[in-house]
Amino acid sequence: MLLAIDTSTQTSGIALYDEFVLIGEMIWRTASHHTVELAPAVQDLMNRCMVSPAELKAVAVALGPGSFTSLRIGLALAKGLALSLNIPLLGIPTFEFQAAQQPLAAEPLLTVLPAGRSRLAVQEFSSSSGCWQPQDEARVMTAEEISDRISGPTRICGEMSPSERQVIGRKWKNAMIAPPALAMRRPSMLAELAWKRWNEGEVDDPALLAPIYLHELPAGPIA
């Protein structure tokens, strides 16, 4: 049994995953109350699914990009569980599992999430070898800058405000924006990628695993 934790943004999520079975999943929007909501939510999900801490064999956590506070809270809980239960810890970049949710296509894929101050974090992926592969490093851009970047058919997924969707959607011939239900990050996909890594013998050192903070990303279009 693997527990997955995603606190990259105000949209938080947790999932319990066991090989090919999704045991349970919770996704909710928090008003920056990760500190008081996350641990009780994990306990609630485990109670609902009748899973005890002793049944957890690994824990996965979203590494971001994300806000300083929210990522630290998720990572702290994941590390605490891994150390106290003596189980493996696996960190997965947020855009990696966000992209993995989308159907493979010939067009490039832009994954986005809120970066504050009317900006979005964005990273481009392309379909190769049966999965989405990152094509550049994550950056912070405005919706206008993202729209200007789109020169051909491009898929876009992730959390966006209605105004940001409108700005990017102006290039309607090229911008194929995923509907909110499909664009929502799923902690179950985080769990699935982590499970695969774990089975391949890849685990992370809790002492070295670090989040990807939004304030550390380069800003503006690629020169």
pLDDT digits (tens, 9 = 90+) for 62-111: 999 999 999 999 999 999 999 999 999 999 999 999 999 999 999 999 99
| Residue 171 one-letter amino acid | K
Is residue 115 over pLDDT 70? Answer: yes
Backbone angles phi, psi at 172, to 5 degrees: -60, -25
Measured N-to-C along each axis, helices 68-85 and 34-48 cross at an angle, to the nearest 10 degrees, of 40
Q: List domains and CATH numbers for the chain.
A: 2-94+186-216 (3.30.420.40), 95-183 (3.30.420.40)
Which strands, in side-by-side order, build the sheet including 58-62?
Answer: 21-29, 11-18, 2-6, 58-62, 89-92
Which tens digits make up the pLDDT trace of 189-200?
A: 999 999 999 999
One-character DSSP codes across the chain = -EEEEE-SSSEEEEEEEETTEEEEEEEEE-SS-HHHHHHHHHHHHHHHTT--GGG--EEEEE--SB-HHHHHHHHHHHHHHHHHHT--EEEE-HHHHHHHTSPP-SS-EEEEEEEETTEEEEEEEEEETTEEEE-S--EEE-HHHHHHH--S-EEEEE---HHHHHHHTTSTTTEEEPPHHHHS--HHHHHHHHHHHHHTT--B-TTT----BGGGS-BSS--
Is residue 223 over pLDDT 70? Answer: no
Confidence of residue 31 (pLDDT cuts 50, 70, 90): confident
Confidence of residue 33 (pLDDT cuts 50, 70, 90): confident
Whether pTM exceeds 0.85 = yes
